[in-house]
Amino acid sequence: MKKIIGWSLLIYLVYVLAMFWYLFYGADTSIPSALKGTAADPATFLNAKELMLSEEYSKIRNLLFFVNLPYDWLLYFFILVLGFSMKFSTWSKAISKLSLVQTAIYLFYLSLLVEALSYPLKWISYTLSKNYQITTQAFSGWMKDLVIGFWVDYAIMFLIVSVLFMLIRKSGKRWWFYAWLCSVPFSLFLMFFQPVVIDPLYNDFYPLKDKELETKILALASKAEIPAEHVYEVNMSEKTNALNAYVTGIGSNSRIVLWDTTLERLNDEEILFIMAHEMGHYVMKHIYVGIAGYLLMTLIGLFIIHKLLTYIVNRWGRLFKIDKISDLSMLPLFLLLVSVLSFTASPVENAVSRHQERAADTYAMELTHEQDAAIRTFQELTKAGLSQVNPPYLVKLLRYGHPTMLERITYLETYDQEEQK
């Protein structure tokens, strides 16, 4: 046991040092010489201090991402091999004979432990963002969101875990397929109700206040032949200085959301370009394509997890203190495999997302023909979020669901030329 824990920690430490070297010294984030002096060159729209801060902040934030991911894996691994999961299961069974009550108690113990051990990295991330003036949220507000997030995640996980273990116990080797069948309506249910039930727990949403801007957006929506009654703004200024807009929900609950920071920092032409971009997602049905892709990946992932769980429990069940996969104590191993497989699939998911974002940029240009406003928009997004214009390759591969700012601005600058070819 000591050797296993020791080697795990050593491998993690070597990995962290390797990522530190790569992000701070090994990766080339400079602007290609051919693009220097163009609108994509951050030196043309950021001052010297902003350039320095954007590089510093991005490097540290990326390091935290790469440190946090395997840290979560280590947590689940140690919870298993040190016997915490088995103890939680034993305690829950001693309190009640009802399986639902046992699941609720076990999951509370597990969630509380994981949250406590994950808290330091979350606090470091919050403090970093606060120090670089990206986050404006007070510590009390941040803690409130953390507590809300804990209970929301707990409630969702309770439903998932209860159904999952019921299927494992009753369906034998086909549990993974039935679990996937259950995930289809559940995923659609969450996506439908998230904008009106979950999101308002964290922020206040309301119809766009600027009626003159609303008229312009409605005219743009009419031009795009899509409904626009679902345009909302959200009060993010009390939490962040960053800018954003997004599409969320499905069916009658689908909506386009603008952060109030975006409304404050950008002019009407720039906001209309963002609106046209989000309308592009709507018109091209990217949300539904994303749902279909997610469900396909879930089906494949559950099948792989089924095979891996059977193999691991049969071969290393004693090490992980798991007798059979129907035991509640198996849950950390299941979550570990889900996390690893999600990470493995992230390059493909990000590549698809970047393709959709490029298509939405193109749609926005075709709808607005505001090339200068589009370029200024991405420059302002870079400045507000202290983003790296040209991030390291691994960061782009594993973190970026959008093209880099270098790619987006360069594309917009050459858009007219590409249209003439």
Annotated binding site: 277, 281, 357
Catalytically annotated residue among 233, 260, 278, 407: 278
Amino acid at 338: V
Q: Tell me how long the chain is.
A: 421
Q: What is the CB neighbour count within 10 angstroms for residue 400?
A: 16
| DSSP-derived 3-state class of residue 387 | coil
Residue with tokens 């075709």: 366
Q: Annotated binding site for Zn(2+), which residues?
A: 277, 281, 357
Catalytically annotated residue among 41, 72, 199, 361: 361
From the CA atom positions of the chain, what is the Rg in Å? 24
| DSSP-derived 3-state class of residue 248 | strand
- Separation of alpha carbons 390 and 406, rounded Å: 6
- DSSP letters along 68-121, please? HHHHHHHHHHHHHHTTHHHHHHHHHHHH-S-HHHHHHHHHHHHHHHHHHHHHHH
- Separation of alpha carbons 386 and 22, rounded Å: 20
Beta strands in 354-400 (DSSP E): none
How far, CA to CA in Å, does 70 sit from each of 118, 216, 402?
12, 47, 23
- Separation of alpha carbons 227 and 217, rounded Å: 11
Tell me if residue 204 is catalytic: no
- Separation of alpha carbons 397 and 404, rounded Å: 11
Tell me if residue 210 is catalytic: no
Orientation of helix 331-368 relative to helix 268-283, angle to 10°? 120
> Are the CB atoms for 250 and 184 separated by under 8 Å?
no
- Separation of alpha carbons 376 and 44, rounded Å: 11
**Residues noted as catalytic:** 278, 361
